[in-house]
Structure formats: structure tokens, C-alpha cells
Structure 1
Amino acid sequence: MINTQLLKEMLEIYSPAGNEGRISEFIRNQIKDYVDEIKVDALGNLIARKKGNGKKIMLAGHMDQIALMVTYIDDKGFLRFTNVGGISPTISLSQRVIFENGTIGVIGSEKIEDLKDFKLEKLFIDIGASSKEEAEKKVTIGDMAVYYTEALYDDKKVMSQAVDDRIGCFVMIEALKKLSTTANDLYFVFTVQEEVGTRGAKTAAYDIAPDMAIAFDVTATGDTPKAKSMAVELGKGPAIKVKDNSILCHPKVKNYMIKQAEENNIPYQLEILEFGGTDSGAIHLTRSGVPSGVLSIPCRYLHSNCEMVFLSDVKEAIELTVYMLKNSIEI
């Protein structure tokens, strides 16, 4: 069974890129009794080590979420903003947002005559202020807001903001809890600033210098009406990545993941993502190179306030991760 209460709590924690302290502390409290060492590095990555005598394996899932940053407050108290990560104007319009101090607003738009002019600079955040002075009592330049919605789930699916990539972190946490012994020296790295350029993964990998790495993230699907053709669907199991725009996954890592899935009767899909990337893109280029792969959770409506995944895919990703980590890995 999936610990849906834990997942819901993780999804609803405010932690935009560059300000991941809240989710980091939450994860630390979840895993501290299951690892031998735990630390936060200079950039903010949470690094937990479960010691073993085998290969040094780095697991990476990013804690941060996309956000909106205030750039200007006008005389009537409306907030202009820029994106922190992949924010879409069409998805953002009329969405509620929340700031770190609990201030809540809604995203509005100027009058637009032509949809081709519908861009982020046409949008603003309305926090209900009547003047610049009133707004400045609640918000200042540089403050960040994230989408504000409740994480919803039933016996089949979960929908929420920040599924990208709290779901990867959740898989890592739950796999760690189930992993009694390991032949490998494991580093569970909950990274920062992935949404603005895989920055945390780059510095953490340089410090750890792993023999192999696996990133955990979401991926797009091709299973909605007239979607771009893609051989990934919800409910068909976790996806083992072949490539995206940041990496050609190392064949030995990819094949090891496939072998563990097939030997343990865990359904899986092969993923070719023709855009985007994950922490693995930064990790595999670290130092003299790190053989790397990715285990992805199929997700609809990426970078929205209602990203959707199936719980069966999450459960199978946890099971596959446990098998991958407890067995001896030869690279």
C-alpha cells in the first residue's frame, strides 16, 4: 500500500527552487532513522548515506518546485512577476498562489486582443491590496509564490502541484525504508534547484564522485487525446529512460534496471523524452563522467497545479528501486 498521507503532506509543503528548507527538514525527519549519515551541503542538497561495501551509488530526486517571483509592485498593489522554472501563462491564469508568509493571491491578466500576445508579462498577481503601500506590508520584491491547491487522491491516482518532483523524493524515501541491507554504498540525495538548471545535482555529484547514478523524476505521457506520440502511459508501470534532451542513458545502467524489473515481474515502460531533462543530465557529466540512468513516474499535465500520476506506477517504482539497490551492481 502507498502511504498516501505522507505523500499528501510532501506535496503541500511550500518549497520553491532556491528555498527548499521546509521540504528538506521534513524529509530529514522521515529518513534519519534509516541512514548512517545525513547532512545538508553548502547549496542546500540533503545527502543521506546508507553505508555498504560495494559500488558508490548516487540516487537523486529534486525537492524544489516551479515558482513565480515578484519583480514589481504597482501603485494599486498589483504584483508583476517572473518565472522561476517552467511557468506557462495559459496554465497560470486564474490560479491561486501562496507566498512563504501565507499571503494568498490569484493570477489575473490584462485585456488581451490576440491570443498570440498572451505571455507572462501580461499577467499579474492580485493579493487584494488597494495600494502599493498595503501590498508592501505583505510582499516584497524577490518574494516567491507557488500554486496553491490541495493535493487530492483516491484509490487510483493523485493530483497536485509539485508532483514534479516530490513523487521522486517519495519513491526514494519509501524504498529506503524497505531496504534492510545493501551490497552497495548508497547516497540518497534530495537535490535543490533542479527546475532552474539541475544546479544542486551538479555540486552534489562532484562532492560524492559516485560510480553510478540514478535520478528519480516524472516524465510526460502520450495517452491523452491527440497527444504527441510517446510510448508512455499512466498505469503501465514506471518508465526506464533511454534518452531526453540532457542525457543518453548509459546502456549498462539502463539494462541493469530492465533486468531487475523483468526478473522480479515488475511492469515497466521504456521512455524517450524529446524535450527537457533531469538531474541525471548534470550528474553524468561530473568529473570524468558517471554512468547514469533515470527511473521516471508517468505524469499528465506537467508544470501545472494538477499534475496527475497513478499510484500503481508509484508502488511499482518503489519495488523496482528496492531490487535495484539491494543487489550487487557491476558497472
Structure 2
Amino acid sequence: MKDLLKKLSETYGPAGREEQIARVIRDEIKDHVDEVYTDNMGNLYAVKKGYGTKVMIAAHMDEIGVIVTYIEEKGFLRFSNVGGVNPHVLLGQRLIFANGTVGTIGMEKLDDIKKLSLDKLYIDIGAKDREEAAKKVKIGDVATYHRNVEFADNRVIGKAMDNRAGCAVLIKAIQELGQTSNEIHAVFTAQEEVGLRGSRTSTYRINPDIGLAVDVTLTGDTPEAPKMDVSLGKGPTVKVKDASVICHPRLKDLLSDLAENNQIPYQYEVLLAGGTDAGAMHLTKEGIPSGVISVPCRYVHTPGEMVDLDDMQNAVKLLKLFLENPVEMDKIFPCTLD
């Protein structure tokens, strides 16, 4: 898990530019499934054929970033955000573009740091002027945080744990998955960070019987953190609700029962803001019963996101059990009030 998570975290792959991370993931899963393909949106699909319930598992592979909007005369780059980027977090950070160009974030003179906004920041790639900068970076190029993964005992610190941690869980589950009667469609989705776009199109394409997202979630275990009953190291979470979805109660109960019956530690998650691919999955076509398994993560949307390896291993165990056990839709999700 350590080597896999390091590889995934350090790979470039902002929303809308997922080609590099998709290649890495494809190489990890291609020998463990019956079919691998991509679509026009950039989603990566892995299919394990079966004759039973059609199950879709989605883990978004994109990360947040910034996009170049203007190159100044002296070679400094102005930019906008791709996803949820905080200007106070950006200040002083190193960024990397798809072609390997590295820059650092600088700030205009500002009397009140509380008024810091993206239009007061710029990227310095060391260019002498606009002409030199334009040889390295073009308008519309996207950069992400440039950080290596670090291990602190059982904790992992790095950028893009949202959601390379979820991708690692799904990859490991696929690699270790035995025989199952379910028809498994694992989708590593594109453009989640800018509006759940990849999951919307991929769910429509697959039209599954049931959907499950694998993502990260916030924690409430740091000093003066918002009140939230999720902690690092206490197991993956079974989502109850976030801003994009109220998870199907019977799917929530099914995941909870699997965890309890197999001595897998888990936590319930009620996330007050934000969402996952399940937000688009459950609204597709006539409606898809959907749920979420989440990996607790501190410092989300920073270059120092932190996850716990035990949480991830337990998430793999729970996801494997869910995929291995036949899902009898008429018994678990009857369309009746009885």
C-alpha cells in the first residue's frame, strides 16, 4: 500500500488533465480484470464480468490545481483555480506543470493578509520575460502542487490524497478480489473536483443496479476542528449524508453489517459540506441506490494531506467483502413500503 499510494500521490493529474494518472492506474489493474477502457470524458473503466447484480464503484482520480490565464511582460504567470484552492494555502508553494516546469507562488504587496485572493498571487517559473516564459508554459496549462510523499510511522503525508487514497483502496480491492457473481464496473472518474462530471457521464453509460463511491472525508480530531465524529486511525467511514447525497439507508446498513460481522472498525460520517461521486450517481436515470466508503483525511485540499494506513487497509477489506457477496436487489432494495 505504501508504494502504491506514493506512486499515485506524486503523479500529475488535475481535473481535466487526468491522462498521466490514468496510465498509472491502468497499469496497476489491467491484469486483474476482464476489460479496461476509457471514454471521451477521460474516465477509466475496469470491468470484472459476472452474471449477477451490476455494481459500479467510483473513485475520482483528479486533483485540484491552477490554470494559467495570462503571462505578464516580466514572465510572471497569472492564474485561476481548478477546484477548491485556498489562496492562503497556495502562498509560497511549489507547483509543477504537465511538462515538468516548476514554479513557486508569490504575492503582490498587500497591507492586510486577510484580503489575500487569487488575483493577488502569481507563479514565478524563473523566466526573464514573457517570451521566455511562453516557451515553457502556455495559456490554459494547469499546474498542481509539487510535493513528495512522506511517511510518519503509520501515517502518510502528501498532496492529492483526495482522492488518490480512494484510488489506492479501489486498486487493491480489484487486485485482491476473488470470484464474485456480481458484475463489477470500477470507474476511476475524471473532473470530480469541478462538479462530479465524470461520475455523471460514467453512471449514465453503465446504468448500474447499485453504486458506491470511494473517497476521502474530513476529520474532527485536530485542535479546534469543526465538530465531526470522525478520527484518523479509527477505521474507514460509512457515509450517512453530505451536501450532495443522502446515502440509501439499506446500503448504509449493509456496509455497517459487513463491517461488524467481520470485525472491521468503521465510523459513521455526516459531512456538512462537500460531496463525492455518489452525488451524481444516485441522480442518474431513474435513480441509483448509492453509498460511500470514505478514508478519513486531515488537511484536505492542501499539499500536506494526511491519511492512516490502517484506515486504508480496513477500507480495502470492507470494499472486498461488499464486492464478493451477492447483492440481491429485490431483497435489499425492494420498491415497496412493506
Does the pair score TM above 0.5?
yes
1:228 aligns with 2:222: no
Residue in structure 2 matching 1:91, options 89, 92, 111? 89
1:327 aligns with 2:325: yes
Query: Which residue number corresponds to residue 145 of structure 2?
Result: 147
Matched residues in 1 for 2:292 and 2:187: separation? 14
Please give the TM-score of this superposition, normalised by the length of structure 2.
0.96
Please give the TM-score of this superposition, normalised by the length of structure 1.
0.98
User: Counterparts in 2 of 1:166-245, with a 5 A limit?
Assistant: 166-245=164-243
Percent identity reads 53
Greater mean alpha carbon deviation, residues 211-220 or residues 36-45: 36-45
Query: Which residue number corresponds to residue 250 of structure 2?
Result: 252
Unaligned runs of 5+ in 1: none
Secondary structure in 1 aligned to 2:211?
strand
User: Counterparts in 2 of 1:113-152, with a 5 A limit?
Assistant: 113-152=111-150
Matched residues in 1 for 2:67 and 2:244: separation? 26
Matched residues in 1 for 2:152 and 2:171: separation? 21
User: Counterparts in 2 of 1:67-86, with a 5 A limit?
Assistant: 67-86=65-84
Aligned-residue offset at 1:211: 0.5
Aligned-residue offset at 1:180: 1.1
Query: Which residue number corresponds to residue 62 of structure 1?
Result: 60
- What is the aligned residue count? 329
Matched residues in 2 for 1:88 and 1:182: separation? 43
Instruction: Provide runs of 4+ in structure 1 moved above 2 Å.
Output: none
Aligned-residue offset at 1:116: 3.2
Query: Which residue number corresponds to residue 11 of structure 1?
Result: 9
Aligned-residue offset at 1:155: 3.2
Matched residues in 2 for 1:14 and 1:189: separation? 19
Post-superposition CA distance 1:161-185 (Å, at most 9, x none): 1100011111001011111111211
Residue in structure 2 matching 1:49, options 33, 47, 50? 47
Aligned-residue offset at 1:5: 1.0
Q: CA RMSD in A?
A: 0.8
Secondary structure in 1 aligned to 2:136?
coil
Greater mean alpha carbon deviation, residues 113-122 or residues 156-165: 113-122
Matched residues in 2 for 1:39 and 1:291: separation? 25
Aligned-residue offset at 1:205: 0.2
Unaligned runs of 5+ in 2: 334-338
